[in-house]
Structure 1
Amino acid sequence: MELDLGAVRAFVAVADDRHFGDAADRLGLTQQATSKRIAKLEASLGTTLFHRARTGTELTEDGAAFLPDARALIALADQAVRSVRAPRRPLRVDVLGTRLSPTELIRSFHEAHPEVEIDIVTSRGLRSGQPALLSGAIDVAFARVTGELDPAIAYQPAYLEPHHLLAGRKHPLAGRRRVRMADLAGTVVSMPGNEPGSEWADYYHHLRHEFGFGVETAGPDFGLDHMLDEIARSADRCTFGGERMRVPWHAGIVQLPVVDPTPLYPWSMLWHRRNRHPALPVLIEHIAERVRPFDPATQWLPPGEPVR
């Protein structure tokens, strides 16, 4: 036997209001339609649920016994509907670091769509972003895609970010307008944030082997401001930054575009294929419309980079 949820809902309303007319008004039905639903339910159950009188309506013994389960059935049905409807909550976005370019991508999206609420979170890149997407802890992650992703995760290119060199004013390259990759041969680039096993450490492994510079990862990572102070005091230290990275102004630091070729850091946007947040398709379209194509004649990416 299958119960009609509309009839069960009418039964609960009448049980609460003790009056068919009042229940009908609350349900947005006529009194006759409400009576028909109750009659149908009673026929399905093979019992009488209400005693009807001029002064109102009272539950029968069977009606009182049925009421708790009827309430639970309606509550479960309402919960099932809510589970497939898009939740009205902020879009949760993992940007890896708030100084990095994905934050600027999301800021641009928010300016174009101020009605979308956004929560910014940070983590440790692809290693933590993928599990968070699978668990539903976040809606979107930005990372460089390496290795095999879980089939439930979709992704698209988000930004091929050109590199800049950050150097102190006493550095031999500081007086130039731009730096060629060949000029960095034999240079040691400070990158204490290169975590072993991270997708960015892998990227710089390929870059340094291609162009013959060294990477120094020793020492604790006290953050960008501290590293800029150290670079500004040095005559030979430097580091890389991205074109849209928020680098704090520093009197002792110059920021130079890197060319011939320009290394690009391939940011991708990742999400769960079954995510139904209403703002997600809007963000996907916004990001896709702004991706610049890769030019192999003037730009560099690691071999086999999955840019599509």
Structure 2
Amino acid sequence: MDTEAVRSFVRAAELGQLRHAADELGVTQQAVSKRIAALERELDVRLFTRTPRGVELTLDGQAFLPHARTIVTGVDRAVTAIGPGSRALRIDVLGLRSAQAVVLHDYWRSHPGTDLDVVTLRVDDPRVAVAAVQAGDVDASFRSVTDPAALPSDVRMIHAFDSPLELLVGPRHPLARARTLTPSRLRRHRIWVPGIAPRSEWAEFYDQLATDFDLRVDAAGPNFGNEVLLDILADSADVATLVGSRDRYVWPANHDLRRIPIAGPTLAYPLSLLLPRADPHPGLRAVIDHFSNLAPLPEPVWRPSWATTPGGGQQEP
């Protein structure tokens, strides 16, 4: 089996675009496409389906992906074992437009010599991320295990930073003209957050948030992606959603969407980092130090009950 074809498959699956995978691998999009086509012929299955926005995994592709990652990791480790230096620091983020990716990009811009590999595992269950850390597939993962007792002894979780929430609404929403909002002003308004996955950390976060502030958080309906959500908000007079203040969203100018900060208290989504207890990647220390230099949130701050306190657990990695 051509390991470079497997590597091309993994990066295309993680990035959702053949072009982006080609850019990262330093080859042409046609080369990536040919490698994946050859791999599909060898396996006698289709691994991707084409969409207007890129590629999506088939069921066979989803089944093959974790094993393909193991193949790529094994090859990388084999090369590292006989070569000078060590491989890039590999950190898993929830998405390339997420607050985690934004903060990591800020770190990389201020430390341009850093050999950093940002990946997306595309899993909802934090136990899968824990397993990836244990296996060495990633050096750290931006995931939270809400029950610390469930963490295996060889993985630890530290507080990275807090992401304050903002209300995102269209121009016709009754709260659209507000400069800031208190959580109490969100009551009785429909807050639509599609795609809340069972057993995920954000499912527990929104459950506690809705209970503590008597909010109407609606997860009904399929998640068709951010573009569809933004289109709906732009046309709606009663639907809003919550986003992280550092999350990147891009919409057409005529949508005229409004991001409104929430304070009194600030609603903080706590972002944690999973990493191995023994022999963590040496590049992690500088990244964690970067988190500690982020501006503190305006007090008072609400966090879910399972959140570690800022600065808590940030011992030497």
TM-score range, shorter chain: 0.5 to 0.7
| Shift in CA distance, 225/208, structure 1 to aligned 2, threshold 3 Å | same
2:290 is matched by which residue type in structure 1?
H
1:168-187 aligned within 5 A = 168-187=170-189
Alignment length (residue pairs): 227
Q: What TM-score, normalized by structure 1, do the two folds share? A: 0.68
Superposed displacement of residue 285, structure 1: 2.5
2:109 is matched by which residue type in structure 1?
E
Task: Name which of 260, 265, 287 aligns with 2:264.
Answer: 260
Structure 1 residue runs without a partner (length 5+): 1-78
Residue 155 of structure 1 corresponds to 157
Residue 129 of structure 1 corresponds to 129
2:258 is matched by which residue type in structure 1?
V
Check the 8 A contact 1:189/1:216 in 2, yes or no: yes
Q: Deviations over 1:205-249 (max 9, x none)?
A: 000111112122122111111101011111100100001000113
Q: Deviations over 1:108-138 (max 9, x none)?
A: 2211222222222112252321110011000
1:49-198 aligned within 5 A = 88-123=86-121, 124-125=123-124, 126-148=126-148, 149-198=151-200
Residue 212 of structure 1 corresponds to 214
**Take 1:293 and 1:85, find their aligned partners in 2: how far apart are those partners?**
44
2:199 aligned counterpart, secondary structure: coil
Residue 48 of structure 1 corresponds to none
Superposed displacement of residue 144, structure 1: 3.0
Indicate whether 1:221 and 2:219 are aligned: no
Structure 2 residue runs without a partner (length 5+): 1-76, 313-317
**Take 1:267 and 1:291, find their aligned partners in 2: how far apart are those partners?**
15
| Shift in CA distance, 240/86, structure 1 to aligned 2, threshold 3 Å | farther
Check the 8 A contact 1:93/1:138 in 2, yes or no: yes
1:117 is matched by which residue type in structure 2?
D
**Take 2:301 and 2:200, find their aligned partners in 1: how far apart are those partners?**
23
Q: What TM-score, normalized by structure 2, do the two folds share? A: 0.66
Residue 203 of structure 1 corresponds to 205
**Take 1:189 and 1:293, find their aligned partners in 2: how far apart are those partners?**
23
Check the 8 A contact 1:160/1:294 in 2, yes or no: no
| Shift in CA distance, 96/274, structure 1 to aligned 2, threshold 3 Å | same
1:130 is matched by which residue type in structure 2?
V
Check the 8 A contact 1:142/1:268 in 2, yes or no: yes
**Take 2:306 and 2:135, find their aligned partners in 1: how far apart are those partners?**
29
Check the 8 A contact 2:161/2:292 in 1, yes or no: no
Higher Rg? 1
1:261 is matched by which residue type in structure 2?
P
Aligned-pair Cα RMSD in Å: 2.4
1:285 is matched by which residue type in structure 2?
D
* Percent of matched pairs sharing the same residue: 33
2:229 aligned counterpart, secondary structure: helix
2:262 aligned counterpart, secondary structure: strand
